[in-house]
Amino acid sequence: MAETKEKGTKPEVKFEDIKFSEEGKTKAILACIPLIGLILLFVEKDDQFVRYYGGQYTVLGLAMFVVSFVLGIIPVIGWCIAPLLWIGMLVLIVMGMVKANNGEKFQIPMLHEYGMKLMNAV
């Protein structure tokens, strides 16, 4: 893990520091569901693999909520696009679950960095 300069602050976790643990595999799979991922992000303190998935999928859930709200305001076009985005989110959730089950780190495109920031902030 990275060294800290100030006393009392926790070290920032880097992508390379995240390691798979067989004990946390089930929690990592469940963390791919955005609301459960948010809960596990706050509850799980030791397993960085679970926190990694929790952070990413929490950000995905928040992004989908905001985008769906904005698209819901736009008549017809937004109403047609929003369901497609939800299907895309479902695909990302299933992909994440499969990768977590295999012990691989899955990076959600464009949201990975924000998930890492959230994971380190909590």
Measured at the alpha carbon of residue 115, what is the angle toward residues 9 and 29, in degrees to the nearest 5?
A: 110
Query: What tens-digit pLDDT sequence spans the chain (122 residues)?
Result: 444 445 556 778 888 888 898 899 999 999 999 999 999 999 998 899 999 999 999 999 999 999 988 988 888 888 889 899 999 999 999 999 999 999 999 999 899 999 999 999 98
**How many whole angstroms separate alpha carbon 21 and alpha carbon 36?**
19
Q: What would the 3-class secondary structure string for 48-63 be?
A: HHHHHHHHHHHHHHHH
Closest by CA position to 63, among listed 20, 109, 96? 109
